[in-house]
Amino acid sequence: MNAPSRLLAKSARAGVAPVSLEAHLLDTEAAAVALFAAERRLSCNFRRFFRVAPEDSERFVLHLRLACLFHDLGKANADFLQAVQSRHATLQTLRHEHLSALLLHLPEVQQWLLGSASLDVDVLTAAVLCHHFKAAEGPGPHRWCQHRGPVARLSLHLDHPEVRAVLRRVSEVAGLGPAPSLPCVPWGPQAPWSSAYQHGIQSARAFASRVHEEPQRRSLLLAVKAGLIAADAAASGLVREGHPILAWLEDITRKPRLLPEDLARDILDLKAARIPGFELREFQRRAGGLGARALLLAACGSGKTLAAWKWAEAQLRERELGRVIFLYPTRGTATQGFKDYVSWAPGVDSALVHGTARYELEAMRSNPEECTAGQVSQDETTARLFALGLWSKRYFSATVDQFLAFLEHGYASTCLLPVLADSALIIDEVHSFDRHMFDSLVGFLRAFDLPVLCMTATLPASRRAELERAGLRVYPSEADRRGLEDLERSESHPRYRLTAVEDETAAFNVAVESFLQTRRVLWVVNQVGRCQSLARRLREALGVDVLCYHSRFRLEDRHVAHLRTVDAFRASPQPIIAVTTQVCEMSLDLDADVLISELAPVTALIQRFGRANRHLSRGLEFRARLVTYAPERAAPYDTEDLTRASMLLDALGSGDVSQRRLAEALERHARGERDASGGSRFIDAGYFATPGSFRDSDDFARPCLLDEDLPRAHALQVARKPWDGLIVSVPRSSVLGEASRPAWLPAHLGVAEASRYHPWLGFQSEETVS
């Protein structure tokens, strides 16, 4: 086969000159040097985050530069060249990074690299093989060197001048002798490729058995892996978008540290100015003295978020950092956190980051509140580059997945690691983390060096102990409380009066009676179907508007339902009735006079109670009425969850209840759990890496478009406008067959019947709304 005159790293794109393989590899190395080689804040914090020892700093940069030069060398093959030159999808026999890693186990390459005593070839190979998170040892679509298609044969261009030039660059960087000549024979199941693969597999197994017993080596491995992905993202994305790489990175790496005075000006002072007679509470002031690792446990409505910002302000005083990141468990809570605090910072510095953030921002701008008025929308470049577009931001409100999913090999989250490593991190509502998320959180705290504040109102004793063992100081402790009379008064004040009723019928009567007495009524149930049914029945009984809020709305309708629900409970005391599911439990500032709830796990139940009498707006003598009953079926929880909830309520009795008593009851009645494993794919991986789920998998629901929304969604897609607002979560049993899916619809989305959907009630799985 004739050698091509030029090897390409990327497919040709209108308006952008083709990028040669040599140019891309050199660009990636240059990006790595710009990001991580200089003794600037960003590079120092990145190494600190991964616990790279100071004496290993030069080794880290060396391995990273070599990984950048090797990572795409496997693109020097006939299939890849055809793929980037073709307008049609082309099946490639072998993934390019699989071939890149295989080259590192050729005997002549091994001997050459071992000429440097500083080089760890296993660390280098692991970074190269893993940079797309599509490499596995075992069977499956990503098995290392598993060919695709009928023929296990691939023509290579390893003697091309561009390849030789890159190998000469490796020699220069590592101080090695002349580079060896690489084989000209096609790749296939024969020598030299078969023996190189066997050597690689043996090396991978030996490496996996040793690396976790060598903390410095593991730190080097994780830092090089993450650094390569960040440098590759910068070199690939910026060139394709027409940005000069080094100039852009120079702006990022020279961005000044975030000062306490900046945070006070951009966030705290503006928050204070909006609250008449504002004055920090003592426990909020003291949060600044907690140190780099803390767990803030305080009752709902006590002002934890403001305390967290004071903690962040103190961290900016103690360390040179560039960002503050708030992480929340859900999109709704992240959006609310953005509106309440982050959005008040200059638009160029603030970011809302979650799966549908672009839609949420557009919705805010179409109905601008004071905090978002005048901020410009993200440009197309920023939208396409995603993670790179966020590197310049200073204040973030995001879902926890967006920054911590790197632990399960989430690619975009990994690209954000330079931002995360340069931040003070606040993680809210940690009580709500499922078992897998909590395992990942504990592993994160153990493995990485970063100032972290976790927060919640309630936490089982087992989880509290695990976070303490992971290095978090609990605040306020019993000793702290002796000087925090304001917090003591708030948490000890009787806010509630508990009432247990027989069943849903009795609860329905309480709801109707309370509404007619001009009370604000919030009813929380455990399943969407019951939420919809109760909303209909209450509207029929009362003849008034009933708020209905759960997870099965189109995003554009859920946005409306969310705002209507929050705004209704913030208004002056008027009779209100809302029926919701678990979506109300976290960070929603609802203030009910009467809260009715089905039994639920004790942590969830106490979070629901925190939506009642939240601000004592009816006076110190008022007690919110908490009404509980057992649902007919335990699902989606199990019987033990509801049994423990009953025991907690029996222990509390029927008298006045404070939030302190709720927290103490939680300690006694929360369900015990196993200790966190502290593992994750990223922390535990060696040579191999495939993506996993950051959350416990939920196979019950699937995101869908309604069939009547397909033309509108397609038109928005063609116009390159966001259409997230049309997506609705639907039970899998209600998803239409594959024949209903148009070819342009992304594979993860299904199609559902619009006849089952109503903007007020959402998607109904059992009956149709006429």
pTM of the model: 0.87
**Cα dihedral value 331, 334, 335, 341, nearest 10:** 180
Are 475 and 500 contained in the same domain? no
Which residue numbers in the chain have pLDDT < 70?
A: 1, 12-16, 89, 238-243, 354-386, 571-572, 587-588, 697-699, 766-770
Confidence (pLDDT) at 563:
84
183, 109 contact by CB (below 8 A): no
Q: What is the SS3 string spanning 592-642?
A: ECEEEEECCCHHHHHHHHCCECCCCCCCCCCCEEEEEECCCCCCCCCHHHH
Instruction: Note down the domain range covering 708.
Output: 701-763
CA 142 to chain centre: 24
Q: Is 369 contained in some domain?
A: yes
Confidence (pLDDT) at 111:
96
Confidence (pLDDT) at 607:
87
Q: Is 107 contained in some domain?
A: yes
Are 274 and 151 contained in the same domain? no
Q: Is 249 contained in some domain?
A: yes
CA 621 to chain centre: 42
Alpha-carbon separation of residue 535 from 148, 349, 554 (angstroms):
54, 41, 18
Task: Supply angle C-alpha 593, 594, 599, rounded to 5.
Answer: 140
726, 754 contact by CB (below 8 A): no
- CATH, residue 639: 3.40.50.300
Task: Supply angle C-alpha 613, 499, 494, rounded to 5.
Answer: 40
152, 96 contact by CB (below 8 A): no
Tokens of 268: 């705290």
Are 423 and 540 contained in the same domain? no
Tokens of 747: 């594979």
Confidence (pLDDT) at 371:
33
Indicate the SS3 state at residue 186.
coil
Are 351 and 415 contained in the same domain? yes
Task: Supply angle C-alpha 22, 25, 30, rounded to 5.
Answer: 120
Are 427 and 483 contained in the same domain? yes
Q: Is 601 contained in some domain?
A: yes
- What is the C-alpha separation between 115 and 177, in angstroms, rounded? 8
Single-letter residue type at 316: L
Q: Is 81 contained in some domain?
A: yes
425, 450 contact by CB (below 8 A): yes
Are 273 and 422 contained in the same domain? yes
399, 303 contact by CB (below 8 A): no
Confidence (pLDDT) at 354:
63
Q: Is 750 contained in some domain?
A: yes
32, 64 contact by CB (below 8 A): yes
| 702, containing H or E segment | strand 701-706
Last residue of a domain, one of 469, 487, 505: 487
Are 585 and 607 contained in the same domain? yes
Look at residues 94, 97, 119, 98 and name the one whose alpha carbon lies nearest to residue 109. 119
The DSSP result for 259-300, as a single string, is PHHHHIIIIIHHHHHTSTT----HHHHHGGGS-SEEEEE--T
694, 436 contact by CB (below 8 A): yes
Q: What is the DSSP letter of 150?
A: S
- Number of domains observed in the structure of the chain: 4
The DSSP result for 311-379, as a single string, is HHHHHHHHS---EEEEEESSHHHHHHHHHHTGGGS-TTTEEEESTTHHHHHHHHHHS--TTTTTPPPPP
pLDDT tens-place string over residues 664-720:
888 888 877 777 777 899 999 999 999 888 887 656 889 999 999 999 999 998 988
Last residue of a domain, one of 253, 272, 307: 253
242, 252 contact by CB (below 8 A): no
Look at residues 676, 130, 208, 698 and name the one whose alpha carbon lies nearest to residue 444. 676
Last residue of a domain, one of 653, 669, 685: 669
Are 465 and 586 contained in the same domain? no
Peptide bond into 192 cis (omega under 30): yes
323, 258 contact by CB (below 8 A): yes
- What is the C-alpha separation between 77 and 391, in angstroms, rounded? 34
**Cα dihedral value 81, 85, 90, 93, nearest 10:** 0
Alpha-carbon separation of residue 58 from 39, 212, 339 (angstroms):
11, 22, 43
Are 47 and 163 contained in the same domain? yes
Q: Is 115 contained in some domain?
A: yes
Q: Which residues, including other chains, have CB under 8 Å from residue 731's CB and lie 6 or more apart?
A: 700, 701, 702, 765
The DSSP result for 298-309, as a single string, is --TTS-HHHHHH
Task: Provide the angle, in degrees to the nearest 10, between the axes of the packed helices 215-240 and 245-253.
Answer: 130
Are 624 and 724 contained in the same domain? no
Are 520 and 579 contained in the same domain? yes
- What is the C-alpha separation between 27 and 36, in angstroms, rounded? 14
Q: Is 422 contained in some domain?
A: yes
Are 336 and 439 contained in the same domain? yes
CA contacts within 13 A on the Cβ side of 177: 10
445, 294 contact by CB (below 8 A): no
Confidence (pLDDT) at 698:
59
143, 241 contact by CB (below 8 A): no
pLDDT tens-place string over residues 624-640:
999 999 999 998 998 99
Confidence (pLDDT) at 492:
85
- What is the C-alpha separation between 318 and 302, in angstroms, rounded? 26
- CATH, residue 162: 1.10.3210
Look at residues 99, 128, 117, 309 and name the one whose alpha carbon lies nearest to residue 229. 128
Tokens of 574: 């008027």
